Structure 1
Amino acid sequence: MEKNPLQIQQITAHDYTSAPFEMVILPLGSLESHGGHMPLGTDALTAAILAEEVAAQIPGAAVLPVVPYGVSEHYRDFPFTISLRFETEIAIIKDILESLYREGIRRVFILNGHDGNIAPIEVAARSFKVAHPDIRIVSLGAWWETIGPLLPDDFFEIWNGLGHGGEGEMSIGLALFEELCQPEHAKGRVPDLPEIGEVKWCFSEITDCGATGDPTKGSREKGLIMKKTLVNAIVAMLTRLNEKNWHYER
């Protein structure tokens, strides 16, 4: 294996003391069904690959190993779901932040790939920030929502590209790990959800095939554009923060 200096798990203590990194990216994922067309680790794979793409363009940044499990109980009616409790996910994130803080890291970017992790990130990061005001934490909780406004209005064909294993996620999966996808098995359902408010569903209430949206409209070409657009946006955000020394006042 050729060493990748961006991956913290691959470097030695000597490497780190010789060239310490200043910012850490923490990718978070899950292990759950994404229909018959995407791998169970889609969220973890997406977060990990995007994190490395970002780190490659940010001087002094490095990537932690992805946390491969998340809060996935709402997907448990479809195989194969491994879920953490909310309390466990919160504790994992806080423990990682505590370890980073002990090591002298004061800049952390959390790149999340899974909807069930959004609430635990908020609880863990907010409470840790209050306890340690000198740390700087930025998170991207839902890249699939962030990407929409960055793309042309007519970029997606169905449901604004949304959906668990839908058009957008299928597209970025084909761009990042095409060899693990099986588009010949792609199918999904577009649920009839209210325009305002947020239904707290179990996934089997809104789909019978383990996916929502329309993955048949996904393509590698769309995914490559999505990847470039999203990575560029994150890099621009982190670059600006670095230029301001992660201070937020105008």
Structure 2
Amino acid sequence: MNAIEIHGRDLSLLENARFAVVPLGSFEYHGPHSPLGTDIFLADGFANLIDPNLGGIIFPTVPYTACPGKTNKYKGTISVRPSIIQEYLIDIMMGIMEQGIKKVVLLNAHDGNMGVSRTISEYVTGKYSDASFLLVNWWQMVAIDAAEEIGFEGTKGRGHGGPFEMSAVKAFRPDLVRVNKEDQELKEVQPLSLQPYILVEGTPKAWDGYTGLIQQSSHEKGKKIVEKAIANMNELIKNWLEN
């Protein structure tokens, strides 16, 4: 159920919800082939595929957020200062707590939201000891090693504006991803280590506001990605609620 559809006389639906879902997007350049609202479409799309039988209430997607320097320089990106989005999200989360909902899924579609999601969750659980936050980045709901099974060749497809992300967008809005023959493809850079790490650069290699072998974006791949992601997401939420 979507929170914006609840009438004032039906506020008990909020009190009785098992959890809230707050989708997190961005308004950001994703290349010439992709919509500026890529992360909004993905956050909305996955939120509305969460199994309604789990008993969640879906709140409106947060459309504006902090964007990294590597996309900030591209026209079309509208970024919010990190301190502002942090305070804004704290107020939203505190408002949800005051409705009586103490479990929240932060369903994220933008890499730049990962840090602030953790920060505000730690803050709010300090105020409400019975609060529980589940931070879900949709792209992590599909194993990287599933690339070949999905249909990618010679690439994992991952990366901002790359074929993995854009295929997922095509699954929700096939009309909004348009790769032309002349659009530049950018090969993936080999990782520095097999271990997890974070590298922040103003101008990464193999980058022009997007990356990847974008000619491999397809609706069929997108359907496989979304199917895998939402199955794993629903299972994760189910386990969280039961435990």
Under a length normalisation based on structure 2, what TM-score does the superposition of the two structures give?
Answer: 0.89
Q: Could you tell me how far apart the structure 2 residues matched to 1:234 and 1:195 are?
A: 29
Identity, in percent, stands at 26
Q: Could you tell me how far apart the structure 1 residues matched to 2:18 and 2:117 are?
A: 21
Q: Could you tell me how far apart the structure 1 residues matched to 2:175 and 2:209 are?
A: 20
Equivalent residues in 2 for 1:141-160 (5 A)?
Answer: 142-149=137-144, 151=146, 153-155=148-150, 156-160=152-156
Equivalent residues in 2 for 1:134-145 (5 A)?
Answer: 134-140=130-136, 142-145=137-140
CA displacement 1:191-235 (0-9 Å, x = unmatched): 535423432112x44345321111111111111011111111111
Query: Which stretch of structure 1 is more off in the superposition, 150-159 or 222-231?
Result: 150-159
1:13 aligns with 2:12: no
Equivalent residues in 2 for 1:8-157 (5 A)?
Answer: 8-17=3-12, 20-54=16-50, 56-74=51-69, 75-140=71-136, 142-149=137-144, 151=146, 153-155=148-150, 156-157=152-153
3-state SS of the aligned residue for 1:183? Answer: coil
Query: 1:150, CA displacement in angstroms?
Result: 7.2
8 Å CA contact 1:71–1:83 kept in 2: the answer is yes
Q: Which amino acid aligns with 1:195?
A: L
RMSD over aligned Cα atoms = 2.1
Q: Could you tell me how far apart the structure 1 residues matched to 2:219 and 2:189 are?
A: 27
8 Å CA contact 1:188–1:209 kept in 2: the answer is no
Q: Could you tell me how far apart the structure 1 residues matched to 2:123 and 2:40 are?
A: 24
Query: 1:149, CA displacement in angstroms?
Result: 4.3
1:169 aligns with 2:169: no
3-state SS of the aligned residue for 2:76? Answer: coil
Query: 1:106, CA displacement in angstroms?
Result: 0.9
Under a length normalisation based on structure 1, what TM-score does the superposition of the two structures give?
Answer: 0.86
Q: Which amino acid aligns with 1:147?
A: V
Q: 1:189 aligns with which of 186, 200, 203?
A: 186
Query: 1:9, CA displacement in angstroms?
Result: 1.2
Residue 3 of structure 1: aligned partner: none
Residue 227 of structure 1: aligned partner: 226
**Pairs aligned (count):** 236
Q: Could you tell me how far apart the structure 2 residues matched to 1:106 and 1:78 are?
A: 38
8 Å CA contact 2:155–2:188 kept in 1: the answer is no
CA displacement 1:89-111 (0-9 Å, x = unmatched): 21122111100111100111000
Q: Could you tell me how far apart the structure 2 residues matched to 1:150 and 1:21 are?
A: 36
Query: 1:172, CA displacement in angstroms?
Result: 0.3
Q: Which runs of 5+ in 1 are unaligned?
A: 1-5, 245-250
Q: Could you tell me how far apart the structure 1 residues matched to 2:84 and 2:122 are?
A: 16
Query: 1:187, CA displacement in angstroms?
Result: 3.7
Q: Could you tell me how far apart the structure 2 residues matched to 1:240 and 1:181 are?
A: 34
Q: Which amino acid aligns with 1:192?
A: V
| Residues 9, 187 of structure 1: alpha-carbon distance in 2 compared, 3 angstrom cutoff | farther
3-state SS of the aligned residue for 1:137? Answer: strand
Query: Which stretch of structure 1 is more off in the superposition, 184-193 or 30-39?
Result: 184-193
| Residues 36, 130 of structure 1: alpha-carbon distance in 2 compared, 3 angstrom cutoff | same
CA displacement 1:125-153 (0-9 Å, x = unmatched): 1121122110111111x322341247365
